[in-house]
Structure 1
């Protein structure tokens, strides 16, 4: 079976990160796109060689040639569009964060189970070689993992950046669920879940220190995993220097790496210090989309299930849901 994709929401993320990959993977093609602004939908289709475009999502879902849906809209519409696709019997690849909050994630999981449909959440770093290497090192080269710590800091956004349309929805909690934390942390928290497995407990605190926008700009959180790994994470979007570092310490060594900058992975153990460098894919979602195509074709497992996406949303809520 060929997977003929339709994209709902052809915004910035689809220009390079994801969109072109659908046309480069075996047994996959992009046959239709949708955006509420008809002129922008038409422009995207013409620039990317897509046969059809729509300004109404239901028309795309009802297109008989479309047999899989990629939803790349802001999170406040994820449940609506995903449920419409599932009701139509079409599998869904859903952008992160999965939903606005864990309550919505529970609702979407129930819908997916009711309709017995396929749904994959776009926590795409799981399938990149860089993070597969990190997992291999954690599993085999540092003994028993004990502690994971993450620090992600950014300088404050400029007034000009905050006024840009591509940023405004991210800073609006009613559309995004929160601010930059909700935009970026799903990748990081999902990786911890991917590395360490089931979560026993999580808690955190969120606050707005700089008052530049409505959402929290500083978040701190802890996770205790069932395998006894303790995670500590800190996110700040109001400080003088940028930082993107994660460290995992085990009984016999440690690993340090970045989540967004692709700095060389550093392994320190009894054999000394080793570094592993990787270039990010030209289209960062392409490895994940390839795994999703295999899953939709019954040739592989679900690379990130709705249940896993829900767990990430539960942690997000435990860190910042009370803000």
Structure 2
């Protein structure tokens, strides 16, 4: 163990492997590993070797594999990005950690809260793992955090999320087998795919929770919740309510969060470019452009953390808290 610590102390570059070089890795995350300082993308892996080779060729990645063991054991790689469907996250994360590799783990971090807690329990002081709740590092959401921290709308009363999407929504990545609608692979449906970002931001903004309650409906009787309604009582007194509907009419499509305070409100979209501050004294609109590779800001902070130059930008505990809420919103006792 002492030898391992000595090697990590001398590390000056994070050399990555991607496990699961599919749709998410194509633009949102993959290229960022090559653009961040002190970071290199060494190898990619996909069970379909032809697709793995194609990704490597198009993105100028030196090595490609169709075996998880092979990429984990690549001698130059010291960190792995797990971008497979959630059903495999826990076991692959265990393999990576056991091999002494750092881990950047896609959301949702596991299939459910029980798996998330299991992963949390096996992490030692020598392990480093970051959960890819990347929206907290994007400029629009950082602006919201700044407005809250500077008391721009006074004492916060409650926050309201409304996500209404039709069956032809364009905010969720499409795949050939549409695994996101297979609960045995995704852990749920579209809610489990996008809600981790929204719930993580609420926890990031408002802190610890006191009570959680939720209700979900699977209209097609396929165990995939397409309507989810949840409420949270935060320890600081902030109240939260959220509705997610993935079978809404095209006319009703909506993506909005409003935070209400004693002196006004903050309104923003999770997929838009504006933050609106509306108070008793003024109304301001702040506009933002996301980076081409939206995970790049979080990956940059992750690299710094892995190199010992920054704190963990999104911890396993953060991920566990999100998974607990997902379960409470969608599982009726």
**Shorter-chain TM-score range:** over 0.9
Map residues 147-162 of structure 1 onto 2, 5 A cutoff.
147-157=158-168
Is 2:312 the partner of 1:302?
A: yes
Tell me the secondary structure at the aligned position of residue 150 of structure 1: strand
What is the aligned partner in structure 1 of residue 196 from structure 2? 186
Q: Is the 8 A contact 2:23 2:175 kept in 1?
A: no
Tell me the secondary structure at the aligned position of residue 70 of structure 2: helix
Q: CA deviation at 1:67?
A: 0.4
Q: Is the 8 A contact 1:171 1:213 kept in 2?
A: no
Unmatched runs of 5 consecutive residues or more in structure 1: none
Map residues 274-289 of structure 1 onto 2, 5 A cutoff.
274-289=284-299
Structure 1 moving runs of 4+ over 2 Å: 164-167
Is 2:122 the partner of 1:122?
A: no
Q: CA deviation at 1:14?
A: 0.5
Give the whole-Å Cα distance in 2 for the aligned partners of 1:39 and 1:75: 23
What is the aligned partner in structure 1 of residue 208 from structure 2? 198
Q: CA deviation at 1:37?
A: 0.5
Q: CA deviation at 1:261?
A: 2.4
Question: Paired residues, what number?
Answer: 316
Q: Is the 8 A contact 2:213 2:231 kept in 1?
A: yes
What is the aligned partner in structure 2 of residue 11 from structure 1? 22
Map residues 210-225 of structure 1 onto 2, 5 A cutoff.
211=220, 214-225=223-234
Give the whole-Å Cα distance in 2 for the aligned partners of 1:212 and 1:155: 18
Q: CA deviation at 1:59?
A: 0.9
Give the whole-Å Cα distance in 2 for the aligned partners of 1:3 and 1:52: 16
Please, what TM-score do these two structures have when normalized by structure 1?
0.95
Q: CA deviation at 1:322?
A: 3.8
What is the aligned partner in structure 2 of residue 238 from structure 1? 247
What is the aligned partner in structure 2 of residue 36 from structure 1? 47
Change in CA separation of 1:231 and 1:281 when aligned onto 2, cut-off 3 Å = same
Q: 1:314 aligns with which of 321, 324, 331?
A: 324
Q: CA deviation at 1:139?
A: 2.0
Please, what TM-score do these two structures have when normalized by structure 2?
0.92
Unmatched runs of 5 consecutive residues or more in structure 2: 1-11
Q: Is the 8 A contact 2:145 2:205 kept in 1?
A: yes
Q: How much is the aligned-residue C-alpha RMSD, in angstroms?
A: 1.6
